[in-house]
Amino acid sequence: MSEGTTPSTTKPARVRYAPSPTGDPHVGNIRTAVWAWLHARHTSGQFLVRIEDTDQSRKQPGSEERILASLEWLGLDWDEGPDIGGPFGPYVQSQRLPLYHAAVERLLADGNAYPCFCTPEELDALRERQRAEKRPPGYEGKCRVIPREEAAARAASEPHVVRFAVPDEGTTVAVDLLRGPIEVENSTLDDFVILKSDGYPTYHLAHVVDDHEMEITHVTRGDEWIPSMPRHALLFDALGYERPIFVHTSIILAPGGGKLSKRHGAKSMLEYAEDGYLPDAVLNFLCITGWGYGDETVMSREQLIDVFEIENIGLNPATFDMEKLAWLNGVYIRQTPIAELAELIARRLEVDLPPEVPRPLDRALVEEVTPLIQERIQTLAEVKDLVDFFWAPEVPVPAAEEFLQKKWKDRAEAASFALARSADVTDALDPFEAAPLEEQLRALADELEVKAGDLFTLIRLAVTGRRVSPPLFETMEIVGQGVCVDRLRAASAYLAG
Ligand code: GLU
């Protein structure tokens, strides 16, 4: 019985994120990367990115680029990776085939592996028989008994795979950092494939070779790999490699349990970017989904690096709480310094505003508008609908029904008069500033014997074209005296018929 060796968890760690380029990484997958990155940064170690593309048939064009873009967006910087290289490169498995072939040769030479010539049809038939006889599935070692010379001679010309020869007897104990030792009888493990007939290694072999060659200390990955861990442990041992520390992370569930669907937030990172989330908020949120530090919720990147302990990752599946994410995002938006937030808003508006608005947007105007909405938004996606009128070449007068509601129902003439008087008051103000403007318009409401709120609704509709806007008087100050007066008069004339 062997447990392998377990390096300490406090030394500078070398941790990798090893996605397969088969699509866009989803939140659970990225959360594992977040934790891996935090562990590397917490221990002043290194974070690596390795692309696992040994299953060439599942490769998706553009996936690698989007994976790297996702990490970049989240601010998970990597010290070694496919684009920047590093001392143990290349960092793409399909470019490392000779390394895997050398490992296979060693395993063959040591009698820890053998070529298997069984055809897919034979393997199907075996599976059928096992099902019929209610026996567990798995390769039963037909080719294991072929004498070594004969096997080598056949392998030179016949299609084959290479299988790992699992010891017949004994037990293998593999340790997961969070779960402790997991023990299996070797007799329950079949001789799994390590090299496919196309010459590509399987995941099992490739990642073991790479994790060794790249001096990885912690293998962090989803818990779907737990059943394979003993096989990997056997491979590490047979190749004479020191075993890394295995850390298997639990899945993220939908609220109320069950699989996380798109509706519950199972989106790719780049979709979160599009939906107007801030990277720091998403990083914070993902980190505390399944890991915690007392009752802390809002934790900066620096604080997370400081206090993150990989050993404290929770074993129970965490629930994905979209509302918490939106709330956190609002918190981060409010914490962002105005100039920085204004730049984010400007870039967002340059995407969202209609094409006739000239780009680049005037940053000074965005900086004036930003404080008016900072407290009111949870995501950047909400910005456009709140403020687009600032950039509209013209704000059309809303339909009469919009004005003539509640207090103004059937009172077009009175509404028209109130708007005309508002235009006069607005026109007369000098200097044109929010506070005195509010004072004057409140006085006008008294004079007209209407509630201030009812008058302001008319003014808001005339000036911004909508019922909901940033605070009215600050908005008017930014829109400018002349434009406000024009819009108020236009609305008044319109209602007068
Ligand atoms: N390529 C594997 C996956 O994407 C990586 C698992 C691992 O991190 O070892 O599931």
Half-sphere exposure of 138 (CA within 13 A, CB side): 15
Query: For residue range 297-312, what is the model confidence (pLDDT) as tens digits?
Result: 999 999 999 999 999 9
Nearest residue by C-alpha to atom 5 in ligand 1: 18
Say how far apart CA 440 and CA 426 lie, in whole Å: 8
Max CA pair span of the chain: 107
Concatenated DSSP letters of 224-249: GGGGGHHHHHHHHHHTTPPP-EEEEE
Distance of CA 366 from the midpoint of ligand 1 (Å): 43
pLDDT of residue 73 exceeding 90: yes
Decide: 18 and 207 in contact? Cβ < 8 Å.
Answer: yes
Helix, strand, or coil here: 259? Answer: strand
Decide: 382 and 348 in contact? Cβ < 8 Å.
Answer: no
pLDDT of residue 1 exceeding 80: no
Distance of CA 39 from the midpoint of ligand 1 (Å): 18
Distance of CA 360 from the midpoint of ligand 1 (Å): 42
Ligand 1 pocket, residue 221 CB under 6 Å:
yes
Q: What is the arithmetic mean of pLDDT over 470-492?
A: 97
Say how far apart CA 390 and CA 364 lie, in whole Å: 12
Say how far apart CA 377 and CA 327 lie, in whole Å: 10
C-alpha angle 207/211/215, rounded to 5°?
170
Structure token pair of residue 200:
């590509």
Ligand 1 pocket, residue 53 CB under 6 Å:
no
Query: For residue range 418-455, what is the model confidence (pLDDT) as tens digits?
Result: 999 999 999 999 999 999 999 999 999 999 999 999 99
Residue 394 banded pLDDT, cuts 50, 70, 90: confident
Say how far apart CA 40 and CA 467 lie, in whole Å: 50
pLDDT score for 6:
46
Structure token pair of residue 377:
């938004």
Please measure the distance between the N-terminal and C-terminal CA atoms of the chain and give it in whole angstroms.
93
How many CB atoms neighbour CB 451 within 10 A?
13
Nearest residue by C-alpha to atom 7 in ligand 1: 221
CATH topology of domain 394-497: Arc Repressor Mutant, subunit A (1.10.10)
Decide: 203 and 52 in contact? Cβ < 8 Å.
Answer: yes
- Tell how far CA 162 is from the center of its chain: 37
pLDDT of residue 2 exceeding 80: no
How many CB atoms neighbour CB 203 within 10 A?
17
Ligand 1 pocket, residue 210 CB under 6 Å:
no
Q: In Å, how far are 51, 126, 211, 255, 296 from 245, measured between CA atoms? A: 20, 36, 11, 31, 28
Query: For residue range 137-147, what is the model confidence (pLDDT) as tens digits?
Result: 999 999 999 99
25 or 277, higher pLDDT: 277
Residue 256 banded pLDDT, cuts 50, 70, 90: confident
Ligand 1 pocket, residue 19 CB under 6 Å:
yes
Structural element, H or E, at residue 182 = strand 180-185
Query: For residue range 195-210, what is the model confidence (pLDDT) as tens digits?
Result: 999 999 999 999 999 9
pLDDT score for 156:
96
pLDDT score for 129:
96
Ligand 1 pocket, residue 21 CB under 6 Å:
no
Say how far apart CA 477 and CA 453 lie, in whole Å: 18
Ligand 1 pocket, residue 20 CB under 6 Å:
yes
Decide: 374 and 330 in contact? Cβ < 8 Å.
Answer: no
pLDDT of residue 377 exceeding 70: yes
Distance of CA 50 from the midpoint of ligand 1 (Å): 9
Q: For the chain, how many residues are written? A: 497
Ligand 1 pocket, residue 52 CB under 6 Å:
yes
Mean pLDDT of the chain: 95
CATH topology of domain 14-252: Rossmann fold (3.40.50)
Say how far apart CA 467 and CA 486 lie, in whole Å: 19
pLDDT score for 4:
46
Q: Ligand 1 pocket check: which of 15, 55, 203, 212 to mutate, most ligand atoms within 8 Å of Cβ?
A: 203
Query: For residue range 102-130, what is the model confidence (pLDDT) as tens digits?
Result: 999 999 999 999 999 999 999 999 999 99
Ligand 1 pocket, residue 207 CB under 6 Å:
yes
Tokens 């073991």 belong to 208
Half-sphere exposure of 109 (CA within 13 A, CB side): 7
Structure token pair of residue 332:
């981060």
What share of the chain has pLDDT > 70, as a percent? 98
Say how far apart CA 478 and CA 365 lie, in whole Å: 8
Of 15, 19, 60, whose CA–CA distance to 246 is shortest? 15
Concatenated DSSP letters of 59-72: --TTHHHHHHHHHH
Give all strands of the β-sheet with 14-17 in edge-to-edge order: 46-49, 14-17, 218-222, 245-249, 171-176, 180-185
pLDDT of residue 169 exceeding 50: yes
Distance of CA 16 from the midpoint of ligand 1 (Å): 10
pLDDT score for 10:
67
Compute the CA torsion angle 79, 82, 83, 85 (nearest 10 deg): 60
Q: Ligand 1 pocket check: which of 202, 212, 225 to mutate, most ligand atoms within 8 Å of Cβ?
A: 225
Ligand 1, atom nearest to 225 Cα: 6
Nearest residue by C-alpha to atom 3 in ligand 1: 19
2 or 318, higher pLDDT: 318
How many CB atoms neighbour CB 65 within 10 A?
11
Q: What is the arithmetic mean of pLDDT over 19-33?
A: 93
Decide: 496 and 413 in contact? Cβ < 8 Å.
Answer: yes
Q: Please give, one letter per residue, the 3-state secondary structure of 72-127.
A: HHHCCCCCEECCCECCCCCCEHHHCHHHHHHHHHHHHHCCCEEEECCCHHHHHHHH
pLDDT score for 93:
98
Mutual orientation of helices 452-464 and 434-448 as an angle, nearest 10°?
A: 120
How many CB atoms neighbour CB 60 within 10 A?
12
Active site residue 409: no
Distance of CA 225 from the midpoint of ligand 1 (Å): 8
Structural element, H or E, at residue 252 = strand 252-253
Name the active-site residue from 259, 262, 409, 451: 262
Residue 262 banded pLDDT, cuts 50, 70, 90: confident
pLDDT of residue 3 exceeding 90: no
DSSP assigned state of 26:
B
Q: What is the arithmetic mean of pLDDT over 354-368?
A: 96
Helix, strand, or coil here: 199? Answer: coil
Ligand 1 pocket, residue 16 CB under 6 Å:
no
Q: What is the arithmetic mean of pLDDT over 75-98?
A: 98
Ligand 1, atom nearest to 22 Cα: 4
Structural element, H or E, at residue 176 = strand 171-176
Distance of CA 273 from the midpoint of ligand 1 (Å): 24
In words, the CATH class of domain 262-337 is: mainly alpha
